Chain A
């Protein structure tokens, strides 16, 4: 019964993907052009004739609607166009080169955060209000109480400059260069997940059916592992979708401070440079990932929480 519901729900969600994407593209397209300034504004001014040429070359002189449809046509063949800022590269190339980097540190950070976060949260919940609880949570919360643009330089100072154990930044796919960025990225998420886990675990542990299970004399491990864990992790699963997408597509701060060539800073730099194509490309890319991840999370959530029915108007 549940499987059918889930599958039906899944298919309808998948079909909704297209209009969602379309709306996303449209909103982003027009929104970014509202901002004052354009890609060709620079301190060395262009003579008006040359400016006119450039605009023509990039079709910026066409009416906005026409540009929009032209862009849609390009998207259909997955051509995101040339970057306005990085003139020698296309947006496809930039994303193709940047994304694997962001994905790697993002995924590693997510795994680290999930494992450590849930461990800390569960431990704290099981020993609620004890010193273990306070200590573990206190430590975990450092991650969301100190901004990462303080943690990152501090780590570099301690571990790279003073101790010399790790490199100061940069990227060459070596483990050494992944350590600090992954840790920095993971810290706030560890904190968040730990709190979420702890909170929800405590609620679950006090719920009726857990108390029933305990009163039946079931060993604690089974109670926790088999009965409490799944519902306790529900809010965490909910959170994982957006959190993972955010991590994967890169953290602007981490990439900037550690000098990592991911796609995180393309958002910000793209907007600030009015690199329309790059921003659109990254926005769409990010949008697809988020939509897919949300979808997976929804499915997971439904599978884990039997109380949700997909009423089609019930």
Chain B
């Protein structure tokens, strides 16, 4: 790591061609860039990631403040305009659904729920998964075997069955959806982290650190985890959209968020039934959903590319 630091210092020094040494001495003190600053600059150069970032910001703003712009509320049933296409006069900018609820407001409110589910469930799985995987991979041996055996067992329970059961036993509270999805997703994270940890554990610098007597926790914190970040970040940005899709799947089964709350998944599911007769009920929520998922993916790609210490581009 330190070697890398010096290397980048050299790169960022502006060396005059004729008298390098003098020129170097005459320079202002070199402000080295940490790995993170380096990474940040690299992200900024990734057009797709930046665009996605901006779009996501707009999306979040829209989702939070957008419903206030409309005269309609998400649960008002406008009987005179059921299943009507987008219409500027009536104020139903995205049209209405089968019971006359405004799609613009519903889409944005649904966005709140979808984003919330995505982030929170991913956080849950992240915390559990990374700790579990790192510990298992680092300690290895029997600890690892037992821990991964536990993962195997839980993994062998089909996810849907488990979530359905949870939904059914404890009711359909939105908190439960976070927990249920997060509690099942951590398994993938744990396996990957454990695999990477196993690999990292045997690298030279970790062995060197151990030889120097550095404690286990310090090693995990300072050497293993930072090297996992790249993998973890990619995984997180792959997981958020996955979680949002899982919630939509639950909605398909009738186990997603409860009415009158809605999510993009639920809206898209309803809309898909009527894609020919009322395409606006599908088009708008689906567009929001797709754009959001794309954005997360581009941002994730950008972050991963930026954080890769070996990437010189």
Interface residues of A (CB under 8 A from B): 12, 16, 19-20, 23-24, 27-28, 31-32, 34-36, 128-129, 134, 137-138, 141-142, 144-147, 149-150, 153-154, 157, 188, 192, 195, 199, 202-203, 206-208, 234-235, 238, 242, 249, 252-253, 267-268, 271-272, 279, 282-283, 286-287, 290-291, 294, 301, 305, 307-309, 311-314
Q: Are A253 and B252 in contact (CB under 8 A)?
A: yes
Q: Is residue B211 contacting chain A, with contact meaning CB distance below 8 A?
A: no
Interface of chain A, main secondary structure: helix
Q: Are A290 and B293 in contact (CB under 8 A)?
A: no
Given A35-B168, A267-B160, decide whether A146 and B188 contact each other with a Cβ distance below 8 A. Answer: no
Across the interface, name the chain B residue whose C-beta is closest to A35: B168
Q: Which of A16, A129, A154 is the one whose CB lies under 8 Å from B149?
A: A16
A85 CB to closest chain B CB (Å) equals 15
B225 CB to closest chain A CB (Å) equals 17
A140 CB to closest chain B CB (Å) equals 10
List the A side residues contacting B252 at CB < 8 Å: 147, 149, 253
Q: How far is the CA of A238 from the CA of B192 in the complex (A)?
A: 8
Given A20-B156, A157-B276, decide whether A271 and B313 contact each other with a Cβ distance below 8 A. Answer: no
Q: Are A195 and B160 in contact (CB under 8 A)?
A: no
Besides A28-B157, A206-B308, A308-B195, 14 more A-B contacts (Cβ < 8 Å) are: A20-B149, A27-B153, A34-B169, A138-B294, A146-B289, A195-B238, A203-B308, A252-B160, A268-B161, A268-B253, A279-B161, A282-B158, A287-B156, A308-B198
Of A144, A145, A147, A206, the most chain B CB neighbours within 10 A belong to A147
Pairs A–B under 8 Å by Cβ, sample size 29? A12-B145, A19-B149, A20-B153, A24-B153, A31-B162, A34-B165, A129-B46, A129-B313, A138-B294, A144-B297, A149-B249, A150-B268, A154-B272, A188-B245, A192-B238, A195-B238, A199-B301, A203-B230, A253-B252, A267-B158, A268-B161, A271-B160, A271-B168, A283-B161, A290-B155, A294-B152, A311-B140, A313-B140, A314-B140
List the A side residues contacting B242 at CB < 8 Å: 144
Q: Are A35 and B192 in contact (CB under 8 A)?
A: no
Q: How far is the CA of A157 from the CA of B276 in the complex (A)?
A: 9
